[in-house]
Amino acid sequence: MTSTRLPEHILARFDAVLDQVDARLGAGYPGPDGRAQPIHTVYVPADRITPSTPLDWGASAVTLLDRHRDLLSERDGTDSLDAVRARLLDDPVQDLRIDFEDGYGFRDDAQEDAAATAAGEIIAGWASAGGPAGFGIRIKGLSGAERGRALRTLELVLEAMGGVPDGFVFTVPKIRAVEQVSALVALCDGFETGFGLREGTLRFELQIESPQAIVASDGSAPIARMLTVAERRCSALHFGTYDYTAACGIAATDQALDHPAADHAKAVMQVAAAQTGVWICDGSTQIVPDTEPENALLNHHRLVGRALRRGYYQGWDMHPGHLVTRWLATYDFFRQAVDVAVPRLLAYLDRRSGGVIDEPATAEALAATVLRAVHSGARTEDELRITAPELSPAVLRALVAREPIPHDPR
């Protein structure tokens, strides 16, 4: 370091303060953790789940796609429909929650005990034999009336799984206070001790569907604090469309993913989770392609595209028909995005001048988009290798992390 007019004790104080800030920011905002975010989470009530549910949903989705192919072709801007159909046949569901909350309702204890054991066995089967990449359960809430039942269901699922497979999480609905998250951390600690699991094995998702989770009584925005007290156990924030908008006093006919009240809540979630490695998952729509399939397909396609443009890359799917438009909108979005991103990334790597001069932050976002496209299947690594061999996964990951570009780009 060159000489300075600063007294040595001032420089030492300056460094000491900022070193603490760097450590705190590094711990709280570590950035992406390398996990591939799924494009959706499928919710299935616990009394309707079977080992074949993912493929059954895919088969139903293919039938719907074939029946409405002309309509869907009008929304297919990148000739993706055949690829979507193949995806629905082969790997239609990336992430699935077996629901013990609203979708399941209240049963007697013997019924829910049996359903919890069955759910754990099904998840164990998926983990060993090519099921969805992600899976888990949604337990009942943490209020006094439901708390005991929620804990018992989770414990029975853990017992039936015979271990915790990679990809397992449990979703906790109706989170309203920071202290509830602290209690969840203690719960995970206790179950890990009781089952002999490695520390940090259990992770959970917080479902944000109460206004108090967005603005607390003291005027604070508690989600950021929730993520801090979660001690890296919170993997995602999920939005609850209908509970949230109902609690805000929105009339039933106007409750929707694109209502301004919902947009505000999701924007707060997005900012609170930014750079933490915690995913944001959009909520659900109750409009399904049963009685008016064409209107429902168009509506869901619109909502998925809208969410993607706002940076919500994952959302709930509640019906096999939602898979059709989820995959179509996702493939279309990322194929178009890759067509824009690849030339700009190549120019950035070569530092060539052009119509757009990108900065490291923009290169980070462009590279993240290409990686998401590959993870979703919208584009493949082989396609990228042909069109842009310089943009290997290693190079893209380095750009996202703002690290030096590897000399060996493989």
| Sequence spans of domains, the chain | 40-334, 336-401
Q: For residue 408, what pLDDT band results from cuts at 50, 70 and 90? A: low
Q: 66 pLDDT exceeds 60?
A: yes
Q: For helices 144-161 and 109-128, what crossing angle results, to 10°?
A: 40
Q: For residue 2, what pLDDT band results from cuts at 50, 70 and 90? A: confident
pLDDT in tens, 320-347: 999 999 999 999 999 999 999 999 999 9
pLDDT above 70: percentage of residues in the chain: 98
How far lies 61's CA from each of 66, 69, 92, 234, in Å? 9, 12, 9, 31
Compute the average pLDDT of residues 18-34: 95
Q: 355 pLDDT exceeds 80?
A: no
pLDDT in tens, 215-259: 999 999 999 999 999 999 999 999 999 999 999 999 999 999 999
Q: 212 pLDDT exceeds 70?
A: yes
Are the C-beta atoms of 379 and 338 separated by less than 8 Å? Answer: yes
pLDDT in tens, 290-299: 889 999 999 9
Compute the average pLDDT of residues 60-79: 98
Domain covering 40-334: architecture: Alpha-Beta Barrel (3.20)
pLDDT the model gives residue 354:
52
How far lies 375's CA from each of 127, 208, 235, 281, 294, in Å? 19, 26, 18, 16, 29
- 253 by Cβ neighbours in 10 Å (0-12 / 13-18 / 19+) ranks as exposed
pLDDT the model gives residue 357:
61
Are the C-beta atoms of 335 and 379 separated by less than 8 Å? Answer: yes
Query: Quick check: pTM over 0.85?
Result: yes
pLDDT the model gives residue 351:
78
pLDDT the model gives residue 226:
99
- Torsion sign across C-alpha atoms 349, 350, 356, 357: positive
pLDDT the model gives residue 145:
86
Distance from C-alpha of 122 to C-alpha of 179, rounded to nearest angstrom? 32
Compute the average pLDDT of residues 49-73: 98
Helix (H, G, I), strand (E, B) or coil at 243: helix
- Element holding 169 (H helix, E strand): strand 168-172
State both tokens at 222: 């508690």
Compute the average pLDDT of residues 136-156: 97
pLDDT the model gives residue 114:
99
